[in-house]
Amino acid sequence: MNDRQAADVASPNRTKEVIRKHGFTLKKSLGQNFLTDANILHKIAASAGLDSAKGVLEIGPGIGALTQQLAKAAGKVVAVEIDGRLLPILEETLAPYPHVSVVHGDVLKIDLDALWREHFSGCSKVSVVANLPYYVTTPIIMKLLDRKLPLEYIVVMIQREVAERMSAKPGGKEYGSLSIAVQYYAETEIVAIVPPTVFIPQPNVDSAVIRLKLREAPPVHVEDEALFFDVVHACFAQRRKTISNNLLAGLFDKASKPAMEAILADCGIDPSRRGETLAIDEYARLSNAILAYRRQSR
């Protein structure tokens, strides 16, 4: 098989042919919606700024349509696939690319630090590029972000609605704890909106390609990250409640209400505001002040 034939995996006919030839049945429970549009695959691969010195981790290669594009652009590709039935297919579609390694496993369980050491030590930079299985989008992205892996970009196809929540700014209904968690680690950009028609089988929702550019340092100074995320989660626990009521339900008790009010006043945050109106720097200020209060009242 040469490069041209391999690239043809990214067409509806070739995808159907590969699936038929191997007697493969798609599993909805594994989020198996295969991309069949060459233009979108090129756009995803191009968004990661790859070159022959860089490495890519792909999650869920399926039959290898995106993997082939990544292999053409990067010096090393590691593709983690949970479904063992796809391995013989990948062996065939990826045969022209010896610098691609397929790892059979669940990305949520795999030891990513070990995978890095084994495969990426010679790469100048590494990115994650994937058409993600939609049933585990958020856990996968949060695992990649909070392990603080040395990543350049995460470029992923996900549900449009989730991409909009990840990139939302304060004030709107999409803005929530996911927006803050993602934006704490990365700058976000929606690169493309993708209709269901380019997948086999078609999902029920629109999709989007989102690019996360990992930050070298968080955009705000946070003294205790676990507490920062606890404060964010508490403030969004009931979206229609004020932050004062949410904080009282989650992090303070009645006896410490005056202290909480003093903290909010010190931070210049009106207690009657809702969680969705607070910017990330206000959450940082608030969590640092709560930490100082806890230390001093110990």
- Interface with ligand SAM by CB under 6 A: which residues? 30-35, 59-62, 65-66, 80-83, 86, 106-108, 131, 133, 136
Question: To the nearest whole angstrom, how small is the minimum distance from the Cβ of residue 36 to ligand SAM?
Answer: 7
Tokens (6 digits) for 211? 């690019």
- Cα separation, 152 vs 125, whole angstroms: 6
Q: Cα separations (Å) of 59 from 32, 133, 228, 235, 237? A: 12, 9, 29, 32, 31
Nearer to ligand SAM, 85 or 221 (CB): 85
Query: Measuring CA to CA, which residue among 1, 26, 6, 31 is closest to residue 16?
Result: 26
Which stretches does DSSP call E strand in the chain? 34-35, 55-59, 76-81, 100-104, 126-131, 153-159, 186-194, 199-200, 207-214
Q: CB atoms < 10 A from the CB of 153, how many? A: 23
Closest residue by beta carbon to ligand SAM: 60
Nearer to ligand SAM, 131 or 167 (CB): 131
Q: Measured from the CB of residue 29, what is the shortest distance to ligand SAM in angstroms?
A: 9
Pair type for strands 153-159 and 76-81 = unpaired
The smaller minimum CB distance to ligand SAM, of residues 133 and 275, is found at 133
Provide the minimum distance between the beta carbon of 233 and ligand SAM in the complex, in angstroms, as a whole number: 24
Nearer to ligand SAM, 166 or 198 (CB): 198
Cβ-based nearer residue to ligand SAM, 50 or 59: 59
Q: What is the CA angle 82-209-40, rounded to 5?
A: 90
Least distance to ligand SAM, CB of residue 128, Å: 12
Tell me how far, at minimum, the Cβ of 184 lies from ligand SAM, in Å. 24
